[in-house]
Structure 1
Amino acid sequence: MAVMRDTGPMAVHEALAELTQRATTSGRTAFLGLVGPPGVGKSYAAARVVETLQQAGLSAAVLPMDGFHLSNHQLDRLGLRARKGAPETFDVAGFVALLERLAAGPSEAVYCPDYDRGLHEPIAGRLRIEASTQVIVTEGNYLLLDGAWSAVRPLLDSSWYLEAPATLREARLIARHVRGRSSAEAHAWVRTVDEPNARLVATTRDRAHLIIDSRGLDDQLARFSPESSPS
């Protein structure tokens, strides 16, 4: 897919139309990667994109990178609990292997892990992706990162980088973290863990096919109607 730097009102519509055209004509599952810093709204965006595709008559599913968080037990064993969410706190090889399995065209449904924000743990097999799924939307911080993560990028047919003002992201992150921490601890976590991760994610911004202000995504998705999808 060609890199699109135009973030105008038709950019998402055009990128989604190109992706669905590929999915419906190639006979294989198409993969969309949603990337961006913590708190930008990737999970919400993935759900909205899948909803939009389903309304257009396509079969679509979400596969979150966060399902490949190492468990708290393993993070404690490795001494990484205080860096949870950093690139080295994920099972990258497992994530890549699952993407490759799905890309190969499985003959039956595939069960996939998810992340539970209440338990703060990954949950094995909570998601089910049917073999007939036409578009898989995967979302996460590090889909365009180098190193061990570099195997992800070639598997994506399209990648969208989501951004939002730092003040909005930080407010969302603090609201998320106070569910299991004190206010002071939540602020400290955002400052010492989330924001360094955000700066790292920002270095991958120019690798995305499309750059989007996440605050306008709903309006842009509204331009993609069932009538505009390929038959």
Structure 2
Amino acid sequence: MEPQHLTARARRLAAGATPARRRLLGIAGPPGAGKSTLAAHLVSELAGSAVLVPMDGFHLAEAELRRLGRTDRKGAPDTFDAAGYAALLGRLRSPAPDTVVYAPAFDRRIEEPVAGSVPVAPDVPLVVTEGNYLLLDDPSWARARACLDEIWYVDLDDAERVRRLVDRHERFGKPRERAERFVRTSDEANARLVAAGRERADLVVRFAADRAPGPYDESG
């Protein structure tokens, strides 16, 4: 399980919120590293004081990817609406009284973003957002990064991470050979981009490769 001091650190962030200034925690890392696992665990532990808003809700729709000729690169930085994501984080950072903000989610069963899926009430002090590109050194993502109070980088042994990625693609409908090819040609290219931002993280959380996802070491 997750060391309690990680939950405590997230709880301290939440405690620093005010009615006019919500706190935002970003969880970054390469595909398959365990970002969603950690983010969901933190939100569960904070029990009503945090909401999870995934970056994946800003995937471009499949029809738009086809129009742009980017379907075979789905998951790359330019297959997301980075400006829309930054705009949402800005709204979440400065909550309006009596206003619920609705964030999109990503449905892996249909491989599409779904608008209005995640309600964020104005009195929730912490938003946890997770995604590959929160630390990307690129102007398109700088506005999003500037909205976050802290960014944690999730690390995992590459061989185990790739194995989990292939299994995940297969679980959601890709034949094994196609899943392996997609991981090799698309996910791993994206992973190399993501890894370049590791040193910019406020905290690095390493996951154990020999058991269910759970951080065992951290630095920063």
Which residue of structure 2 aligns with residue 203 of structure 1? 196
After TM superposition, the structure 1 = structure 2 runs for residues 94-109 of structure 1, keeping only pairs within 5 Å, are: 94-107=84-97, 108-109=99-100
Contact 2:7 2:45 in 1 (8 A): no
Distance 2:87 2:151 in 1: 19
Which residue of structure 2 aligns with residue 114 of structure 1? 105
Which residue of structure 2 aligns with residue 65 of structure 1? 55
After TM superposition, the structure 1 = structure 2 runs for residues 158-197 of structure 1, keeping only pairs within 5 Å, are: 158-178=150-170, 179-197=172-190
Q: 1:43 to 1:121 in 2, by over 3 A?
A: same
Say which of 112, 120, 132 aligns to 2:123.
132
Say which of 59, 77, 87 aligns to 1:87.
77
Shift of 1:43: 1.1
SS in 1 for 2:86: helix
Q: Which has the higher helix share?
A: 1
SS in 1 for 2:104: strand
Which residue of structure 2 aligns with residue 6 of structure 1? none
Runs of 4 or more off by more than 3 Å in structure 1? 215-220
Corresponding letter in the other structure for 2:95: G
Contact 1:48 1:218 in 2 (8 A): no
Counting matched residue pairs gives: 208
Say which of 12, 22, 35 aligns to 2:28.
35
Aligned-residue Cα RMSD (Å) equals: 1.9
Contact 1:50 1:62 in 2 (8 A): yes
Q: 1:104 to 1:17 in 2, by over 3 A?
A: closer
- Could you tell me which runs of 5 or more consecutive residues in structure 2 were left unpaired when the two chains were aligned: none
Distance 1:155 1:134 in 2: 15
Shift of 1:168: 1.4
Which residue of structure 2 aligns with residue 45 of structure 1? 38
Shift of 1:14: 5.7
CA deviations 1:151-171 (Å, max 9, x no partner) are 112211111000011111111
SS in 2 for 1:12: helix
SS in 2 for 1:124: strand
Which residue of structure 2 aligns with residue 149 of structure 1? 141
Contact 1:144 1:152 in 2 (8 A): no
Query: What is the percentage of aligned positions where both structures have the same residue?
Result: 45
TM-score of the aligned structures, taking structure 1 as reference length: 0.84
Shift of 1:60: 0.8
Corresponding letter in the other structure for 1:28: R
Q: Which has the higher contact order (CA 8 A, sep 6+)?
A: 1
